[in-house]
Amino acid sequence: MKASKRELTVLLLVIASTLSACAPTTTTPPPTPITVQLAWTHQSNFSGFYAAEQRGFYAAEGLAVTFVEGGPQVDLLSPVLDGTAQFGVTGADELIKARAQGRPVRALATIYRRSPVVYISLAELGITRPQEFAGKTIRVAPNLIASLHAMTARVGVPPDQYDEVTLPSDLAAFATGEVPVWGGFIDGLAVAAQQAGYEINIVYPDDYGVHFYGHTVFATDDFIEQNPDLVLRFVRATLQGWDYIIQDPEQNGDLVALYNPTADVALENLRMSIMLPLVNTGQDHIGWMRPETWTGMEKTLREQGVITQPLDVTQVYTLQFLEEIYGEE
């Protein structure tokens, strides 16, 4: 007997329902939680990381990332070494010193490929070169002494020709000119002085052959060996975040404000305008590391007596993930 149109429709619905019930269900695995120990409090230094989270680059790699603030009193290495954090951000020189002490940390990518360390003075004092540091008093933090000594030594001004003092970062004290040269980071006192309307001269050790990488992403040897795919995904998403900031730096201040509600958006944008050339140097890819730069950093630290232990500097970094992302240089 011929089935009616209504009966055929019901039959097709039953078949479709049966096939749907038999089909395997697919579920998206939950994102992998990752903690990143930052080198400082929330500010423009980490905008590429913020962009990677807010633009969904981490999520696209199956990662849920938490950022932990750093600061002057924070041990940046221990959280990564003890597994509290999977990744950290610190200066490349700190990784060299740690590795020389037997601590198994390894660099994955460098964000600031030109050092943010500078020496500033009021323009009216006429100090424009490190040769003119002779006979002057210089404010310098302990972690900047090696770069200062290396720079002045290269221009024939040994440390015994100037005085060093340790002072807190204080714009009012800087403005008096009593201590004529102040060492620090370009996005710190230098930005504050410019925003306050002071004309300043800036001396970069990098211009005098002292090439130190700044903020560098790192993990432990064991974590890298045991989780290469996760490391690749994290580094790739992070670099995408920095590329986003480079392409659209006006987003920077608003991004920082998401993590630091008290942030001055205009100040953060000024900071980024000054810092971007250190990230995007016009050479290589964003995050890229050069073996000769690592060798030069190790040599400088050894010459200054900062490290004395034997060290194979090639163990301080790996190009594995950068090469997977970009291809070999």
Cα R_g (the chain), whole angstroms: 25
The angle at the Cα of 167, spanning 164 to 172, to the nearest 5 degrees, equals: 120
Q: What is the mean pLDDT of residues 18-44?
A: 78
Q: Which parts of the chain fold into alpha helices (H)?
A: 5-22, 47-54, 57-60, 78-81, 92-100, 145-154, 171-176, 189-195, 221-226, 228-247, 252-259, 265-279, 291-303, 320-326
How far apart (Å, rounded) are the C-alpha atoms in residues 252 and 237? Answer: 17
How far apart (Å, rounded) are the C-alpha atoms in residues 279 and 287? Answer: 8
How far apart (Å, rounded) are the C-alpha atoms in residues 64 and 238? Answer: 12
* pLDDT tens track for 100-117: 999 999 999 999 999 999
The predicted structure's pLDDT at residue 6: 53
DSSP structural state of residue 133: G
**Confidence at 329, pLDDT banded by 50, 70, 90:** low
The predicted structure's pLDDT at residue 328: 73
The residue with tokens 């998206």 is 28
> Which structural domains are found in the chain, ordered by start?
32-114+212-326 (3.40.190.10), 117-208 (3.40.190.10)
How far apart (Å, rounded) are the C-alpha atoms in residues 139 and 106? Answer: 31
Q: What is the mean pLDDT of residues 89-96?
A: 96
> Residues 127, 102: contact at Cβ < 8 Å?
no
pLDDT at 9 over 50: no
- What are the structure tokens assigned to 196, written together? 């306050």
Q: What phi, psi does 210 have (nearest 5°)? A: -100, 90
- What are the structure tokens assigned to 281, written together? 């140097």
The residue with tokens 């200062």 is 148
* pLDDT tens track for 196-248: 899 999 999 999 999 999 999 999 999 999 999 999 999 999 999 999 999 99
The predicted structure's pLDDT at residue 15: 47
* pLDDT tens track for 281-317: 998 999 999 999 999 999 999 999 999 999 999 999 9
Q: Which parts of 27-186 fold into alpha helices (H)?
A: 47-54, 57-60, 78-81, 92-100, 145-154, 171-176
- pTM for the model stands at 0.87
> Residues 71, 77: contact at Cβ < 8 Å?
no
pLDDT at 182 over 60: yes
Residues belonging to the chain = 329
* pLDDT tens track for 125-146: 999 999 999 999 999 988 889 8
The predicted structure's pLDDT at residue 28: 72
The predicted structure's pLDDT at residue 249: 93
Average pLDDT over the chain reads 91
pLDDT at 10 over 50: no
The predicted structure's pLDDT at residue 4: 53
How far apart (Å, rounded) are the C-alpha atoms in residues 108 and 87? Answer: 10
Q: What is the mean pLDDT of residues 59-63?
A: 98
Residue of 287, 273, 277 whose CA lies nearest to 242? 287
Residue of 175, 167, 321 whose CA lies nearest to 238? 321
